[in-house]
Chains A and B, each alone.
Chain A
Amino acid sequence: MNPSIPRPYPPKPANAYLFATCLIDQFAPQAGLDTVSLLQREGISIHFPEAQTCCGQPAYTSGYPDEARIVARRQLDLFPQAWPVVVPSGSCAAMMRHHYPKLFANDPVLYAKANELAGRIFELTEFLIHVVGFKRVDVGGSCTVALHTSCHARREMGVHETSAALLAGLTQVKVVRQARAEECCGFGGTFAMRHPDISAAIVSDKVASLKESGAQRVVSADCGCLFNILGRAEKIDQSAAKGTPSLPGEHIASFLWRRTSGGEA
């Protein structure tokens, strides 16, 4: 896989599946709802297979491929129609698009299935830009934001430019660039639990650079990074006994939906 080689994009479909990810389902459902709103407004019917659980990445990256396979195997059957599958997370999208075929490499039948599915996995922001041709008027007030792109969105999916392009289309939004914007936030799934000191050092630097950028809030297309960054920022606020969050943030789907739907800015 080489993210610098552009993939082909289909025309805007009438139907699409949503693979919402376990993090959004359980911890950040608003990001999922706003993803649905954004896509339905474009005239796309969204199908949410209820049997979906998790892409399997946590076990896959922790060294438990058999367990990852059990979970990933379940997701393979959820999308029988040839519709695109939209994933509001660069990391989970990369798992399904690039790692599923590797995970099932030893089983010709499942490999074929995984490969076919991989071909129609789209990260939300790339789908909005390249498939939907998203163009909505920014109706929010002026504000300053910074974008954090997850490492898998950037380096495996190669979609860092589509998040940036969506923000650039919002006329009242000023996007500032934090120092070392390309650097990891230190989440890395179980890495954050296994090496808490190193992870904390990395995310503390990330929070500091985001604050120094002058952004009023941070947006990202990945909930894992957001939980990490915002959780760290909140903890720092708590120890400084600060009432209002010094670094609020949200999923890019929520931000986009509010800015373009007439909800408050």
Chain B
Amino acid sequence: MSQNQTVHFHPAEGFAERSRAAVNDAHLRRSFRGAMDFLQAKRLSQFPDADELSALRDLGKAIRLHALANLPDLLEQLEAKLQANGIQVHWAETPDQANAIVLDIAHRHDAKNMVKGKSMVSEEIGLNHAMEVAGIEALETDMGEYIVQLAGEAPSHIIMPAIHKTRQQIAELFAAKVPGVAYTDNVDELIRIGRDVLRKKFAAAEIGLSGVNFAVAETGTLYLVENEGNGRMCTSVPKVHIAVTGIEKVVAKLEHVALLNILLPRSATGQAVETYQNFISGPRKPDELDGPDEVHLILLDNGRTQAYADVQLRATLQCIRCGACMNHCPVYARIGGHAYGTTYPGPIGAIISPHLLGLEATYALATASSLCGACVEVCPVRIPITDILIRLRNEAQAASAGKLRGGGRARKPLQSSIWLVWSWIYGQPWLYRIVSWLMSRGRALAPSNQGAWTRSRTPLNPAPQRLRDLLRRPASG
């Protein structure tokens, strides 16, 4: 099968155009709205007791804070334990390094075929593209990922990659791209077609690649959840299993996984538990029948240490990638995942992407929020997403570059002078009194075209008399 894979990062300047196109796409709006309503209701049904949920979230946050507070030590412990278990550990600072490590392993095994379980980090590093260039077929085996790969697209959601596609679109895609398949929009039939294709590939692949949900330092265990069984196939059928993950995914103890996994599936898909939970603790032992001969873990930085170095922004790394923030985000629901132009869309995308890609390229995402806090309300590990968005806005427009890559680059002279004047007016009561009086008196002159505001709304006009004028007269009560 040939895919026209590309690197799917779109520059930030296009965000306004992409989001405009998305909100005007009635079809896309309907499908996202329906999906978000469904996911919100499912999540809520899993957390009937608000107090219990609140306590669980406290616990989830504490576990993640604990892991981050000890991150360097835990990573060392993880490496030692994994190695003791026979798992080879690699460190990658950049996406290129990570891909080079994968290629190196592939070349050593003369591999031409790779099957992939769902992995957002592999999307982040553009792994499929790197493999294609090297002549290796990297086939997605998660049904949603398979669909977007067939379509030559990127995932539009971190948990449900093909959520933007309707059944009919998938039917057309299969008929066009899968050899020998007639058009059908029967869901069971479509899944069967996909399974048939993938089954054969599992058997032929030399390498299985997967992500990791949590890496347990104490035991050297890689924990991976999924619903289709393809993850288990990818990690046990091929001779070589390569797992890729970000350095923040480590937790101290196995029991921490048990607690976090109360929150993860419920927050993500509204399931009480995933269908498959994989605890990977090493390659096949001599007396075991199945399992890979080699297991590798690639630990990726790609800007995460920048977040780690800042007391406030470190909270970004608490994330367990459940997707609840995007499922509840009014902006994501309107524009979908592709408009963001980044691997991770939605609220988590807006706060993590600046570390991966630089603030200059991703600043638009931080501004694309009304700061309504719906994400903060549902985040299972209580990341203060809105506070972080405000911080990123500050850093992007700061007068000096600051500590973040691409900081200060969004500062515009006109805009900063407007805010400076604003602070003079509202910071000097006498000046405010004059200006607001003039605005009231001159209300007839208020423009009927108030820019972006009046494109969709009637103008906002000052009242003839300010409250302070009216209060000078005897009170009405």
Would you give the shortest CB distance from A51 to chain B, in whole angstroms? 4
Known: A61-B371, A197-B16, A234-B458. A26 touches B452 (CB 8 A): no
Would you give the shortest CB distance from B182 to chain A, in whole angstroms? 38
Pick the residue among B429, B433, B456 that contacts A235 (CB under 8 A). Answer: B456
- Cβ B452 vs Cβ A191 within 8 A: no
- Cβ B458 vs Cβ A238 within 8 A: yes
Instruction: Confirm or deny: B403 has a beta carbon within 8 angstroms of a beta carbon on chain A.
Output: no
Known: A29-B470, A71-B427. A63 touches B390 (CB 8 A): yes
Instruction: Confirm or deny: B466 has a beta carbon within 8 angstroms of a beta carbon on chain A.
Output: yes
Instruction: Confirm or deny: A32 has a beta carbon within 8 angstroms of a beta carbon on chain B.
Output: yes
For chain B, residues 34 to 63, give those with C-beta under 8 angstroms from any C-beta of chain A. Answer: 37, 50, 54
Kindly specify which of A17-25, A125-133, A134-142 makes contact with the partner chain. A17-25
> Which A residues are CB-close (under 8 A) to B428?
74
Q: List 14 A-B contacts (CB under 8 A).
A: A22-B436, A50-B429, A53-B432, A59-B419, A71-B423, A73-B427, A151-B371, A155-B376, A184-B374, A186-B370, A198-B334, A199-B370, A200-B23, A203-B457
- Cβ A196 vs Cβ B455 within 8 A: yes
CA distance A20 to B436 in the complex (A): 14
Instruction: Confirm or deny: B416 has a beta carbon within 8 angstroms of a beta carbon on chain A.
Output: yes
> Which A residues are CB-close (under 8 A) to B427?
53, 70-71, 73-74
Known: A58-B422, A74-B427. A25 touches B466 (CB 8 A): yes
Nearest-neighbor residue (CB-CB) of B427 within chain A: A70
- Cβ B23 vs Cβ A198 within 8 A: yes
Instruction: Confirm or deny: A212 has a beta carbon within 8 angstroms of a beta carbon on chain B.
Output: no
CA distance A187 to B445 in the complex (A): 25
Q: Mark A182-218, 1 if CB is under 8 A from B, else 0.
A: 1110111101111111111111100000000000000
CA distance A49 to B361 in the complex (A): 45
Would you give the shortest CB distance from A55 to chain B, in whole angstroms? 9
> Which B residues are CB-close (under 8 A) to A24?
467
Q: Mark B371-408, 1 if CB is under 8 A from A, else 0.
A: 11110110000000001001001101100000000000
CA distance A46 to B471 in the complex (A): 11
- Give me 14 other A-B pairs in contact (C-beta within 8 A), A25-B436, A180-B37, A182-B374 excluded: A4-B50, A4-B54, A20-B467, A22-B436, A25-B466, A56-B426, A59-B422, A60-B390, A71-B422, A73-B427, A192-B370, A193-B451, A197-B19, A198-B334
- Cβ B423 vs Cβ A70 within 8 A: yes
Residue among B368, B465, B467 having the largest count of chain A Cβ atoms under 10 Å:
B467
Instruction: Confirm or deny: B475 has a beta carbon within 8 angstroms of a beta carbon on chain A.
Output: yes
Instruction: Confirm or deny: B331 has a beta carbon within 8 angstroms of a beta carbon on chain A.
Output: yes
> Which B residues are CB-close (under 8 A) to A176?
none
Interface size counted on chain B using CB atoms at 8 A? 67
CA distance A39 to B387 in the complex (A): 34
Interface residues on A, range: 35 or more
> Which B residues are CB-close (under 8 A) to A188?
369-372
Known: A74-B429, A187-B370. A193 touches B475 (CB 8 A): no
- Cβ A193 vs Cβ B452 within 8 A: yes
Would you give the shortest CB distance from A8 to chain B, in whole angstroms? 20
Q: Mark B446-472, 1 if CB is under 8 A from A, else 0.
A: 000001111111111111011111110
- Cβ A61 vs Cβ B390 within 8 A: yes
- Cβ A183 vs Cβ B452 within 8 A: no
> Which A residues are CB-close (under 8 A) to B374?
151, 155, 182-184
Known: A26-B462, A200-B455, A234-B457. A67 touches B422 (CB 8 A): yes
Instruction: Confirm or deny: B29 has a beta carbon within 8 angstroms of a beta carbon on chain A.
Output: yes
> Which B residues are CB-close (under 8 A) to A38?
477
Kindly specify which of A109-117, A161-169, A224-232 makes contact with the partner chain. A224-232
CA distance A155 to B427 in the complex (A): 28
CA distance A192 to B440 in the complex (A): 23
Instruction: Confirm or deny: A65 has a beta carbon within 8 angstroms of a beta carbon on chain B.
Output: yes
- Cβ A40 vs Cβ B466 within 8 A: no
B interface residues, Cβ below 8 angstroms from A: 16, 19-20, 23-24, 29, 37, 50, 54, 330-331, 334-335, 367-374, 376-377, 387, 390, 393-394, 396-397, 416, 419-420, 422-423, 425-429, 432-433, 436, 439-440, 451-463, 465-471, 475-477
Residue among A46, A52, A152, A183 having the largest count of chain B Cβ atoms under 10 Å:
A183
Pick the residue among A182, A195, A202, A227 that contacts B460 (CB under 8 A). Answer: A227
- Cβ B330 vs Cβ A191 within 8 A: no
- Cβ A192 vs Cβ B463 within 8 A: no
CA distance A25 to B440 in the complex (A): 10
- Cβ B463 vs Cβ A63 within 8 A: no
Nearest-neighbor residue (CB-CB) of B439 within chain A: A26
Nearest-neighbor residue (CB-CB) of B462 within chain A: A26
Instruction: Confirm or deny: A41 has a beta carbon within 8 angstroms of a beta carbon on chain B.
Output: yes
Pick the residue among B394, B422, B452, B459 that contacts A65 (CB under 8 A). Answer: B394
- Cβ A27 vs Cβ B376 within 8 A: no
CA distance A184 to B334 in the complex (A): 12
Instruction: Confirm or deny: A64 has a beta carbon within 8 angstroms of a beta carbon on chain B.
Output: yes
CA distance A29 to B435 in the complex (A): 16
- Cβ A191 vs Cβ B429 within 8 A: no
Pick the residue among A26, A180, A192, A195 that contacts B453 (CB under 8 A). Answer: A192
- Cβ A36 vs Cβ B453 within 8 A: no
> Which A residues are CB-close (under 8 A) to B470?
29, 32-33
Known: A74-B427, A201-B29. A183 touches B451 (CB 8 A): no
CA distance A37 to B473 in the complex (A): 13
> Which A residues are CB-close (under 8 A) to B467?
20, 24-25, 29, 32-33, 48
- Cβ A26 vs Cβ B370 within 8 A: no
Instruction: Confirm or deny: A173 has a beta carbon within 8 angstroms of a beta carbon on chain B.
Output: no
Would you give the shortest CB distance from A85 to chain B, in whole angstroms? 16
CA distance A29 to B461 in the complex (A): 12
Would you give the shortest CB distance from B418 to chain A, in whole angstroms? 9
Nearest-neighbor residue (CB-CB) of A190 within chain B: B367
Nearest-neighbor residue (CB-CB) of B455 within chain A: A196
Pick the residue among A36, A50, A227 that contacts B477 (CB under 8 A). Answer: A36
Instruction: Confirm or deny: A171 has a beta carbon within 8 angstroms of a beta carbon on chain B.
Output: no
